[in-house]
Amino acid sequence: MLDPTGTIISWNEGAERIKGYAEEEIVGEHFSTFYTEDDIINNVPDRNLETAAEEGRIEDEGWRVRKDGSTFWANVTITAIRDDEGALKGFTKVTRDMTDQREYKQQLEEQAERLERQRDELEEELDDIFERIDDAFYALDDEFQFEYVNEHAETYLGKSAGELLGRKPWEVFDVDESDLLFEKFKTAMATQEPMSFEQDSDPLGIWAMVRVYPSESGLSVYFRDITDRKKREEELQRTHELLERAEQIADVGGWEIDTDTREVFWTEHLFEILEIPYGEEPSLDEALTVYHEEDRPIIENAIEEALDSGTSFDVELRFQTPSGKVRWLHVNGNPDVEDGEVLLRGAVQDITERKKRERELRESNERLEQFAYAASHDLKEPLRMISSYLQLIKDQYTDELDETGEEFFEFAMDGAERMREMIDGLLEYSRIETEGDPFEPVDLNAVLKNVLTDLQFQIEESNAEITAENLPTVEGDASQLRQLFQNLLENAIEYSGDEPPRVHVSATKTGDEWVLRVTDEGIGISPENQDHIFEVFQRLHSQDEYAGTGIGLALCKRIVERHEGKIWVDSEPDEGATFSLSLPIPDAAE
């Protein structure tokens, strides 16, 4: 909500999610905060308010700016609010993030332009060929002997007219009289009906367009080389097959609705996805019946809103095949205007397997957490009893214990403490997915700064030197990313060997992801152990050498995987280690 001057007076969770500002950060600021510098210079925000005030409503699209400085393509509707007297009270402002839809539309337009250019180029090439090549011609008498051959025919046949006249074609080319070409000649002569056909001529080594005109005295045969055209057609056919194959591999089908006639068009693969026999497309009302009755209102409302307001949509919903199977679809739609006609077109993808994996992963995580919670609860009770009795032994019999007894007692207390740490670590490991915070923009520089503050005592005690380059902002769970960095830096300090720890944190952009690296100069890891260190309770050293539960790196892996990334290590014994992890770039993820 805006007041009459454009100052923000209310802010919902959707606005915070799209633009990155918390309510307390943005309420009271002018809504031009979200416009680009060019729009502000061109007075776009004020013009939009003026238009909304005069006409009651304005809708436009353009680039808008988030809190972190990144931009997104927005569909914005500003509606004036007036009291009963007609006085302007303010405005409602609705913003939709259309970045994905815009990119998808641009990709479709670019693909259509490429195919259209290819078609035009091929047509131009074929026209050029046809303009430059005159037909070859020869005449056969009623005994199928050459009686006339023009120069073009001599060139193609590779023989002069003198070598051809009086001879039959199959004698000249040393082929069987039953060859398909000559069978056609005989048919034309017998029926006295002209015929036209394309022939792959092995003797001539070309594809030929052949036209045969019979008469009682013989045949007039015209032919021209269409090899280039056939190659282009085959190339186009291969391109078409590749596009169809790509559609099938991606398991994506296309659809289109003519908003005037309400007619529906489906690509062939969409029939396959819906398990409906290929044929005539259903009407719009019939097409909507393929969706699960509980989800049908979702797609109906999305289509109606798209047709009424020109709003794109992106939904996930179930449908039921004719055989009764229930599957999941990802459906998006984008309104478009062509030659004055409004079209709604989009794509459909079967995401049943993805939904199945998501459900199985969710159930697995729930079972893991239930197990970990039960195990931790069941184990902590006897563990507390052991610790209590050990403490009682120390309190009541400490004077009676000799040096060996004291040592045994310390072993028991240390074992109990390690068991408690392992139980807590297992529970923490199980809750990475189920109790994580929602993703939001996270400045990794701030995360690293906080971690270094927490580790200040270890850093000073070990005389560690930790350096870092400028780190990016990513989409993620800030508390889990903090835990990730803390585990990696603690390991780098712990396994530094005899020399003071030297650790460097860096980041590089690779394609559509950030690769973060934590590099140390410590004791290193042998190649055969590098895959095992990310498993739960996998330790490479005894407790006497290095303390720990064996859960830290497993936690790191689980955190990174929750953020749709990967983690790995490059190392050699006594040559330090580099732990690398990839995280999606926020813009690429959108």
Please write the tens of the pLDDT for every residue from 476-525: 888 889 888 988 998 888 888 888 999 999 999 988 899 999 999 888 88
Q: Which of 130-139, 164-173, 175-184, 486-495 has the lowest mean pLDDT?
A: 130-139
Q: Read off the amino acid at residue 104.
A: Y
Instruction: Look at the alpha carbons of 140, 145, 149, 155 in this order and tell me if their dihedral is positive or negative.
Output: positive
Instruction: Look at the alpha carbons of 70, 74, 79, 81 in this order and tell me if their dihedral is positive or negative.
Output: negative
What pLDDT is stored for residue 392 in this prediction? 77
Q: Do 228 and 139 meet the contact criterion of CB atoms below 8 Å apart? A: no
Average pLDDT over residues 88-98: 92
Give the confidence band of 466 by pLDDT, cuts at 50, 70, 90.
Answer: very high
Highest mean pLDDT among 108-112, 239-243, 368-372: 108-112
Integer Cα distance of 433 and 271 in angstroms: 37
Quick check: 380 pLDDT over 70?
A: no
Query: What string of DSSP letters covers 375-413?
Result: HHHHHHHHHHHHHHHHHHHHHHHGGG--HHHHHHHHHHH
Nearest to 577 by CA among 534, 517, 535: 517
Residue matched to tokens 């195990």 = 375
Quick check: 545 pLDDT over 90?
A: no
Integer Cα distance of 473 and 516 in angstroms: 12
Select the more confidently predicted residue: 417 or 317.
317
Per the DSSP assignment, residues forming a β-bridge with 473 are: 443
Degrees, nearest 5: CA angle 180-181-187: 85
Give the rounded percent of residues in the chain with a pLDDT score beyond 70: 81
pLDDT tens, position by position, 408-456:
777 777 666 666 655 565 556 555 555 567 889 999 999 999 889 888 8
Question: What is the reported pTM?
Answer: 0.37
Quick check: 76 pLDDT over 90?
A: yes
Mean pLDDT of the chain: 80
Q: What is the dihedral of CA 345, 351, 352, 354, to 10 degrees?
A: -170
Cβ neighbours of residue 482 under 8 Å, at least 6 residues apart?
447, 450, 451
The DSSP 8-state label assigned to residue 36 in this structure reads -
Quick check: 131 pLDDT over 50?
A: no
What pLDDT is stored for residue 31 in this prediction? 92
Cβ neighbours of residue 150 under 8 Å, at least 6 residues apart?
136, 137, 138
Helices (H), 398-477: 403-430, 444-454, 456-462
Q: What is the dihedral of CA 185, 190, 194, 197, to 10 degrees?
A: -40
Give the confidence band of 238 by pLDDT, cuts at 50, 70, 90.
Answer: low
Cβ neighbours of residue 501 under 8 Å, at least 6 residues apart?
462, 463, 464, 465, 466, 492, 493, 520, 521, 522
What pLDDT is stored for residue 47 in this prediction? 93
Integer Cα distance of 580 and 515 in angstroms: 7
What pLDDT is stored for residue 480 in this prediction? 83
Select the more confidently predicted residue: 557 or 411.
557
pLDDT tens, position by position, 257-272:
777 777 777 777 777 7
Nearest to 140 by CA among 73, 216, 229: 216
Integer Cα distance of 499 and 479 in angstroms: 31
Select the more confidently predicted residue: 185 or 229.
185
What six digits make up the tokens of 548? 């720990």
What pLDDT is stored for residue 573 in this prediction? 86
Integer Cα distance of 346 and 313 in angstroms: 9
